[in-house]
C-alpha cells in the first residue's frame, strides 16, 4: 500500500477502502506521506468526494491516528461543537450547566479562526488561566468539576493537524468531506457518548445560506452516528452576533452576565436549546422541553456560574473570580461610542465584517504568531429590529489606540445598516437535525 496508488484510485473516481484511508491517515501523522502526496489527496477529495461511507472511514482513520481518550466517570460523557460565529460563547455557559445536571463535559476547543473568536482565547483573558494541560490533568479536572474546556494536545488527531495545514495552502479547505473529517476526528477522540453540533448560518457564519448549513449539518450527523457517537445538529441564526459584544474579555463579560443576572438572553437561550438536545440523546431527559427548561433554570439561578468558577479555578483563575469578575478582566485604554448616522431601524448586519474589525483591533490573529490583546473589541452592539434616533450609539469600541478605534468605528458604520422599516426577524433556531 502506498500514497501514489491511493491518489490514483481517487483520480479514477474510486473511493479508497477503510484500510487504505487508515494507512494514509497514519502516514499523515508519522510523516510517511509527503506534503505533495497529502496535497494531491486533498485536491482529489475536494474535486471528487468520498461519499458517506468514505467520509466516515476517513473520519475514524484520522481520529485513530493519535490518542483516543477514555474516562473513568459515573455519568454520561457529552460534548458540543460550533461551526463558528461572532459573539458565540455558548460553550462557556453550556459546559458548566451540563455538569450541574450530572453529565461530564470534556470540551477540546480551539483558537480564533478567521473572523470568529476562539474559545481558548476568551478563557485566557481571565488572569492565570491556562488551557494547555496534560491528558492526566484533564481527566482529574473532569472528575473534580464535571467539565473542562482545554486545547488539544499534539497527540489528538495528529493526521488532521497535518492535513489542515496543507488544505490551508492548497485551496481545499471548503471540501465538505474534509471539513467533516477535520471537525469530528478531534471531537470523537474525546470519546463522547453524545454530541450536539451547533451549525451557524448567516452573515457572521462560515455558512452563509441555509442550504450550505443544512448540507454540513447532515454530513456531520450522518458521519458521527456512523462512527458510533449519537449525534444531533441544530442550525442556528448568525445574522447578528449572538451576544452584543465581540472580543475576548468583553465576551467573558457577556458570559458572566448570562449566568448571573437571572434574565434570559440569546446566549442563554441557545445554550439551553443545545443542551436540551444533548440531554435527550444521552438519555438524561425524556423530552427536549424538559431538558431545555432544566438547563434554563440552572443558568438563571446562578448554579452554572458557580460551577464555571470551579472549572476556572482548576486551570488557574482567581478563586473568587465569579464573585467579582469585572474586577479581574482587562480593560482597553480607549473607549469610543459609534453614533448612528441617521434615524431608523437596524435592518441588517455584516457579522463577518464586525469580526474582522475586532481582529484588526488586535483581538484576533492575522498570522499564527500574532499576540492577542484580550481587552479590545466591540461591545453594546445594537440588535436587529432596534429603532434608533440619529446619534444614538450603534456600538462601543474598545481599543488600545485612538487611530485603531476610529478605524473600527468606520467598520461598524459600514457593517450595520439602518432603514425606514422594521425588518422581518429570523428565529434563533432554524432547524433541528436529530440522531
Known catalytic residue at 167: yes
pLDDT digits (tens, 9 = 90+) for 234-279: 999 999 999 999 999 999 999 999 999 888 899 999 999 999 999 9
Confidence of residue 338 (pLDDT cuts 50, 70, 90): very high
Confidence of residue 434 (pLDDT cuts 50, 70, 90): confident
pLDDT digits (tens, 9 = 90+) for 365-382: 776 667 889 999 999 999
Q: Grid coordinates representing 141?
A: 479536572
**CA 13 – CA 207 distance, rounded (Å):** 27
pLDDT digits (tens, 9 = 90+) for 114-161: 677 789 999 999 999 999 999 899 999 999 999 999 987 778 999 998
Which residues 6+ apart lie within 8 Å of 211 measured at CB?
none
Mean pLDDT (whole number) for 225-242: 95
Known catalytic residue at 83: no
Least reliable range by pLDDT among 124-133, 362-371, 380-389, 417-426: 362-371
Known catalytic residue at 182: yes
Which of the residues 22, 111, 162, 186 is marked catalytic?
Answer: 186
Which of the residues 59, 125, 145, 182 is marked catalytic?
Answer: 182
Which residues 6+ apart lie within 8 Å of 296 measured at CB?
264, 268, 269, 272
Backbone angle region of 64, left / alpha / beta, with phi > 0 → left and psi within -120 to 50 → alpha: alpha
CB of 119 within 8 A of CB of 89? yes
Which of the residues 22, 80, 115, 292 is marked catalytic?
Answer: 80
Where is pLDDT greater, at 173 or 159? 159
Report the percentage of the chain scoring pLDDT > 70: 98
Does residue 168 surpass a pLDDT of 90? no
Known catalytic residue at 119: yes
Known catalytic residue at 88: no
Residue count (the chain): 435
Can you give the pLDDT at residue 303?
97
Assessment of whether the complete model's pTM goes beyond 0.85: yes
The top-scoring range by mean pLDDT among 92-106, 108-122, 130-144, 355-369 is 92-106
Does residue 435 surpass a pLDDT of 70? no
Least reliable range by pLDDT among 132-136, 333-337, 340-344, 369-373: 369-373
Which of the residues 57, 64, 79, 88 is marked catalytic?
Answer: 79
DSSP assignment of 233-283 equals: EEEEE-SS-SSS-BSHHHHHHHHHHHHHS----HHHHHHHHHHHHHHHHTT
Known catalytic residue at 200: no
Least reliable range by pLDDT among 269-278, 295-304, 421-430: 421-430
Known catalytic residue at 81: yes
Can you give the pLDDT at residue 112?
64
Known catalytic residue at 387: no
Could you give the 3-state DSSP secondary structure of residue 406? helix
Known catalytic residue at 257: no
Helix (H) or strand (E) holding 218: helix 210-226
Mean pLDDT (whole number) for 178-197: 94
Residue-averaged pLDDT of the chain: 94
Q: Which residue has the cell 438572553?
A: 265
Amino acid at each position: 500500500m502506498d500514497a501514489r496508488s491511493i491518489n490514483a484510485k481517487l483520480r479514477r473516481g474510486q473511493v479508497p477502502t477503510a484500510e487504505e484511508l487508515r494507512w494514509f491517515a497514519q502516514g499523515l501523522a508519522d510523516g510517511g506521506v509527503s506534503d505533495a502526496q497529502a496535497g494531491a489527496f486533498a485536491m482529489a477529495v475536494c474535486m471528487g468526494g468520498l461519499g458517506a461511507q468514505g467520509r466516515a472511514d476517513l473520519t475514524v482513520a484520522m481520529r485513530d491516528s493519535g490518542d483516543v481518550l477514555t474516562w473513568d466517570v459515573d455519568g454520561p460523557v457529552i460534548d458540543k461543537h460550533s461551526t463558528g460565529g461572532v459573539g458565540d460563547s455558548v460553550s462557556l455557559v453550556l459546559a458548566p450547566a451540563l455538569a450541574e445536571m450530572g453529565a461530564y463535559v470534556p470540551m477540546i476547543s480551539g483558537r480564533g479562526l478567521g473572523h470568529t473568536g476562539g474559545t481558548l482565547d476568551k478563557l485566557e483573558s481571565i488572569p492565570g488561566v491556562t488551557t494547555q494541560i496534560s491528558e492526566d490533568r484533564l481527566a482529574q479536572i473532569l472528575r473534580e468539576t464535571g467539565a473542562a474546556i482545554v486545547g488539544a494536545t499534539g497527540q489528538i488527531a495528529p493526521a488532521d493537524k497535518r492535513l489542515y495545514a496543507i488544505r490551508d495552502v492548497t485551496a481545499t479547505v471548503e471540501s465538505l468531506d474534509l471539513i467533516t473529517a477535520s471537525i469530528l476526528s478531534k471531537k470523537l477522540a474525546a470519546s463522547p457518548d453524545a454530541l450536539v453540533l451547533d451549525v451557524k448560518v448567516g452573515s457572521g457564519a462560515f455558512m452563509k445560506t441555509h442550504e450550505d448549513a443544512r448540507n454540513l449539518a447532515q454530513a456531520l450527523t450522518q458521519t458521527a452516528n456512523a462512527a458510533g457517537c449519537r449525534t444531533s445538529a441544530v442550525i442556528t441564526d448568525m445574522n447578528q452576533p449572538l451576544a452584543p459584544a465581540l472580543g475576548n474579555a468583553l465576551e467573558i463579560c457577556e458570559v458572566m452576565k448570562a449566568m448571573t443576572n437571572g434574565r434570559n438572553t440569546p446566549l442563554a437561550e441557545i445554550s439551553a436549546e443545545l443542551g436540551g438536545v444533548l440531554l435527550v440523546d444521552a438519555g438524561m431527559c425524556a423530552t427536549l422541553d424538559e431538558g431545555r427548561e432544566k438547563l434554563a433554570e440552572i443558568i438563571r439561578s446562578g448554579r452554572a456560574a458557580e460551577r464555571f468558577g470551579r472549572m476556572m479555578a482548576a486551570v488557574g483563575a482567581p478563586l473568587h473570580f465569579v464573585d467579582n469578575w469585572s474586577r479581574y478582566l482587562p480593560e482597553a485604554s480607549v473607549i469610543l461610542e459609534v453614533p448612528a448616522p441617521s434615524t431608523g431601524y437596524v435592518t441588517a448586519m455584516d457579522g463577518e465584517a464586525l469580526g474582522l474589525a475586532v481582529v484588526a483591533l488586535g483581538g484576533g490573529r492575522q498570522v499564527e504568531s500574532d499576540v492577542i490583546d484580550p481587552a479590545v473589541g466591540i461591545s453594546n452592539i445594537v440588535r436587529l429590529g432596534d429603532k434608533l434616533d440619529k446619534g444614538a450609539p450603534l456600538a462601543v469600541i474598545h481599543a488600545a489606540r485612538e487611530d485603531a478605534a476610529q478605524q473600527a468605528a468606520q467598520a461598524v458604520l459600514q457593517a450595520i445598516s439602518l432603514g425606514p422599516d422594521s425588518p422581518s426577524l429570523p428565529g434563533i433556531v432554524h432547524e433541528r437535525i436529530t440522531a
